[in-house]
């Protein structure tokens, strides 16, 4: 044990473990009001982005860059939400790779059919 943690009662874990099904808080209780306001806006933006992505995939299956083009988002915003939408059971991968706007291959998404 290092001198920094002289007693065992003051040790800190090396890493924190979070259950997968536990949502991450957008703002902590101790955060300033401005952070709480930003967290509220982020939640609304997340929901709006997800809705737009689902609408874009109603047209046809597409990669992230085409989805972004269809709905006026940037590809990074789409990529952040596709995993969440897949977890939510709304979209799925087609198994195909399509050409992105930057001429590289990307995964193709479609609405999930049940």
Domains and CATH numbers, the chain: 33-111 (1.10.10.10)
The pLDDT, as a whole number, for residue 40 is: 73
The average pLDDT across 25-36 equals 76
Distance CA 81, CA 78 (A): 5
Residue 9 is encoded by which pair of tokens? 């009662």
pTM of the entire predicted model? 0.68
Question: pLDDT class for 1, splitting at 50, 70, 90?
Answer: very low
> To the nearest whole percent, how much of the chain has pLDDT over 90?
57
Residue 61 in contact with residue 54, Cβ under 8 Å? Answer: no
Structure tokens at 39: 């967290």
Average pLDDT, integer, range 34-60: 88
Note whether 111 and 91 are within 8 A (CB).
Answer: yes
């Amino acid at each position: 044990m290092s001198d920094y943690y002289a007693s065992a009662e003051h040790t800190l874990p090396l890493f924190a473990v979070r259950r997968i099904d536990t949502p991450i808080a957008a703002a902590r209780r101790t955060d300033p009001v401005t952070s709480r306001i930003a967290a509220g806006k982020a939640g609304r933006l997340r929901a709006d982005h997800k809705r737009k992505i689902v609408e874009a995939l109603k047209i046809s299956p597409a990669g992230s860059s085409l989805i972004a083009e269809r709905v006026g988002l940037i590809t990074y915003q789409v990529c952040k939400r596709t995993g969440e939408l897949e977890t939510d059971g709304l979209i799925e991968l087609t198994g195909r790779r399509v050409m992105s706007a930057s001429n590289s291959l990307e995964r193709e998404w479609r609405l999930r059919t049940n």
